[in-house]
Chain A
Amino acid sequence: MATTAWTHERLEQLRQTRVWRSIFRRGPARTNRTRSLAVFGNLALHVLPVKVREKSLSVRATYYLGSISFFLFVVLTITGILLMFYYHPAVPEAYRDMKDLVFVVSNGVFLRNLHRLAAHAMVVAVFWHMFHVFYRGGYKPPHEFNWVIGVGLLLVTLFLSYTGYLLPWDQLAFWAITVGTNIVSYVPVLGRPIRFMLLGGHIIGQNALLRFYVLHCVILPLAAVVLIAGHFWRIQKDGGLTVRDDHE
């Protein structure tokens, strides 16, 4: 107990320092008001609600599917960035780099599998989240627009999954992208030009690999971050989650 008291005292001293006070301007969160202010005043937390109904925190209300999807997105971002250190989006290297990650790089196979499994899990989690919200009626007013953002996030998740599929540059990837981009060319009038722009040519080659890489690592994750921030923020602005009375 003496150590706890000592730690509290040191923490209290730390809180009084000028540096600490310059970062956390509002002082310790001891009252409801200062706790609320702490959430409002934090860049990462201010998109989240300051207060939630206790019911909406129960497992059965959400099964935490949205949080699980977000957690998987964070896992995918971290493992993806680490994989980028060894991967060249170039035609002879891409496949070899993938094989190097599996057989040569320390813990490479762990990271690659983590990325791959988390990607599959994220698609499952996002779909499950959508079905759960649908069957709970969570799309109803005032949550209509957040449902629309959610559909955007579902599409971004699927596009991320699809663009990532080409990157190992193996036969599975090649034919999946052949079939997928041919589906695109069935779009009326614009189909062929869209396919040409997506592949950067007529065939699935170097240009296509680089474009899918940039989409996968930069454009789509940025879109996801923007949509996720909007999605979280709207939960707060729409007055919290839809919770039924029989959820206790």
Chain B
Amino acid sequence: MPGESKAPGKPEEKTAVSRRDFLNEIAGGALTIAGIGAAVVTVNYSSPNVLFEPPTTFRAGKPDDFIDPVTYLPDQQVYIVRSDKGMWAMSAVCTHLGCITQFKPESEQIACPCHGSKFKIAGTVQAGPAPRPLPHFSMVLGEDGVLVVDKLEIVSDSEILKV
């Protein structure tokens, strides 16, 4: 093109980066940023902000309702355990891959049907592939004498409700 032809005797200044490379890098950089932005926005979009899942806090019942050593609450997938030390609420979901465990009264063990993990009633792992003990949930005695369990609040095994 005529506009681009160099006038003789007027050498162009030597630059480390040519105009073409400069523009290519600007365009490439802009596209990269836009691509990363699009990916981040998509990941954000895919993670819902509001969930319509069942509430994690529930009223289990009065302490006197739980006279067995281990009572399973199927709707909540939670055990209410009663021992001479006191009471605690514990997850019934196996820490290995999420199957529902079952209390075996004859062996005083909690067993998982999927891959054979076994837990003591305190939640500690006795056998099998489970990597962690069954978590204990916060359980408080409300003013009206009803036990309230919060499945989002995991407490240490030593927090035992004296009743």
Contacts and interface: CB of A to CB of B under 8 A. Distances in A.
B107 interface: no
Contacts of A196: 47
Nearest to A206: B52
Nearest to B43: A197
Interface of A: 175, 178-179, 181-183, 193, 196-197, 200-203, 205-207
Interface in B96-120: 96-99, 114
Contact of B114 (A179, A197, A205, A207): A179
Given A179-B114, A197-B43, A201-B53, A207 B99 contact: no
Contact of B97 (A183, A193, A205): A183
B18 interface: no
Given A179-B114, A197-B43, A202-B53, A207 B48 contact: yes
A205 B53 contact: yes
A205 B52 CA distance: 9
Consensus secondary structure, chain B interface: loop
Given A201-B51, A207-B48, A178 B43 contact: no
B53 A200 contact: no
B97 A182 contact: yes
List 7 tightest A-B contacts by C-beta distance, closest first. A182-B98, A179-B97, A182-B97, A178-B98, A201-B51, A197-B46, A197-B47
Interface residues of B, number: 13
Contacts of A206: 52
B53 A203 contact: yes
Contact of A202 (B51, B96, B99): B51
Contacts of A200: 46, 48
B99 A193 contact: no
A201 B99 contact: no
B51 A179 contact: no
5 contacts: A178-B98, A182-B96, A193-B47, A201-B48, A206-B52
Nearest to B94: A182
Given A178-B97, A197-B43, 13 more contacts: A175-B114, A178-B98, A178-B99, A179-B99, A179-B114, A182-B96, A193-B47, A197-B47, A200-B46, A200-B48, A205-B53, A207-B48, A207-B51
Contacts of B53: 201-203, 205
Nearest to A178: B98
